[in-house]
Amino acid sequence: MPNEEMGSRALPETAGIDNRAVLAIVGSFLLFVGAAIAGILLFLNSEAPGAFTPRLENRFPSPELQTSPEDDLTRFEAAQRARLTTYAWVDRDHNIARIPIDQAMQLVAGRGQHAYDALRPAPAPPPGASGGNP
Amino acid sequence: MTARALPWLLLLSSALTGCGDHSMSQQNRYGTFSKAALFKDGTEAQTLPQGVVAQGDLDRLQQITKPPAVDMALLARGRERYDIYCSPCHGLSGHGDGMIVQRGFPAPPSYHSARLRSADAQHFFDVITHGYGVMYSYAARVEPRDRWAITAYIRALQQSQHADVADVPELRSKLP
C-alpha cells in the first residue's frame, strides 16, 4: 500500500484551467490592440496627414545672450566715442553740425558766467497765458 | 612685621581686584529710549539743540546753492563723473542710448531734444539730486560740486552734438 500511495502522489496535478481558453483570450486582446492601432493610424492618415511630421516652423527663436559682454561694451563705447571726436552734419538745412567734445568744452568754458545757460532759449509763453497754475 | 605682611597684602589686593563683572555688559549709561532723570523731559532720546548742524553740512549747502565757476578743470571732472555714473543709461554722447538701454532698460530722454536744450541748469542738478521717473537719486553717490560739474559737462555735450555752424569758427571748412 505504501508503494501505491507514493506512486499516485508522484504524478503532477492536472490543470484546472484550459490552456486553449487562455490562449484565445490573450490572442483576442492582441488582435484588438493591433486593430485599434491600425484604425487610429488609418484615421490620422486620412484626416491629419501631417500629424507625424515634425513642425520646424514652430521652433522658438534662440535667446539673445551676450557671449562676450566685454567685447560688446568695447565695440559699443568705440561707436559712441566716435560721435564725440568727429565733425559731421546733423542738419545741413539748418546749419547744425557735430563737433568734438574737447572743442565743445572749450567753448562752454569760454562763456564764463553764462556757461550754465541753456543753449536754446526757452520758448516764449503764448500771448494771454497766465504764466502758471492758478 | 611690615616685610612679612607685604606679600599677604599684595595677594589680598590682587584677589579683590578680580571681583566684579568685567565683561562690560553692565555700563553706567542710559539704554536706548530709556527713562532719564537727568533731562527735563525725562527721556534719553534728546533732539539736537537749535542751531546745531553736522560737520560739513554748511559747506555742502553752499555747494548746492552756489554753482562753481566753469573752467576746463571742472568740465574734465564732470566728464569723468558723467562717464562713470550717467553714461551707462544716457550714453557717452547723451543721446539716451547707453548699454543698459541696449539690454532692455527704458531709454531716458536725449539731452539734445529741444526741451532739454532749453532747460535751465538747475533742472539737471535737481534730477541728479532727487531722481526722475525710473532714475533714482544720485545724491549719495555724487557730491554737490560734482553734480554742477556734470551739469556743465551736459552743456558741453549739447554744444558738441548740436552746434550752430555760425557760432563755431572755421567749422564749415572741417565738415565733410
Return the axis-axis angle of helices B121-130 and B144-161, rounded to nearest 10°. 130
Distance between start and end Cα atoms, chain B: 111
Q: Give every strand in the sheet of A88-91, ordered side by side.
A: A88-91, A96-98, B163-164
Q: Cβ contact (<8 Å) for A119 and B76?
A: no
Residue B61 reports pLDDT greater than 50: yes
- The closest CB to that of B92, out of A81, A88, A103, belongs to A81
Q: What are phi and psi for residue A96, nearest 5 degrees?
A: -110, 130
At A124, is the pLDDT very low, low, confident or very high (cuts 50, 70, 90)? low
- pLDDT of B34 above 60: yes
- Residue range B115-125, pLDDT digits in tens: 999 999 999 99
Predicted local distance difference test score (pLDDT) of residue B116: 95
The values of phi and psi at residue B171, to 5°, are -70, -40
Question: Are B155 and B146 within 8 A, CB to CB?
Answer: no
Q: How far apart are CA A57 and CA B117, in angstroms?
A: 49
Q: What percent of chain B has pLDDT over 70?
A: 95
Could you say which of B75, B120, B151 has the minimum Cβ distance to residue A109? Answer: B75
Kindly determine whether residue B175 and residue A97, on different chains, have CB atoms separated by under 8 Å.
yes
> What pLDDT score does B121 carry?
95
> How wide is the angle at C-alpha A95 spanned by C-alphas A99 and B166, nearest 5°?
75
| pTM score | 0.65
For residues B87 and B98, the answer to whether their CB atoms sit within 8 Å is yes
What confidence score (pLDDT) does residue A52 get? Answer: 77
In this complex, do B158 and A119 lie within 8 Å of one another by their Cβ atoms? yes
Among A77-81, B5-9, B62-66, B124-128, the range scoring the smallest mean pLDDT is B5-9
Query: What average pLDDT does range A79-94 have in this prediction?
Result: 92
The arithmetic mean of pLDDT across residues B81-86, rounded, is: 97
Q: Which candidate from B70, B99, B160 shows the least CB-CB separation from A76?
A: B99
Q: Which of residues 114-133 of A touch B (CB under 8 A)?
A: 115-123
Task: Give B72 or A14, the one with higher predicted confidence.
Answer: B72
A107 at B interface, C-beta within 8 A? yes
Distance CA B175, CA B160 (A): 14
Q: Which residues between 55 and 84 in chain A have a beta carbon less than 8 angstroms from any beta carbon of chain B?
A: 72-73, 76-77, 80-81, 83-84
Model confidence pLDDT, tens digit, residues B113-168: 999 999 999 999 999 999 999 999 999 999 999 999 999 999 999 999 999 888 88
Percentage above 70 pLDDT, chain A: 79
Total number of residues shown for chain B: 176
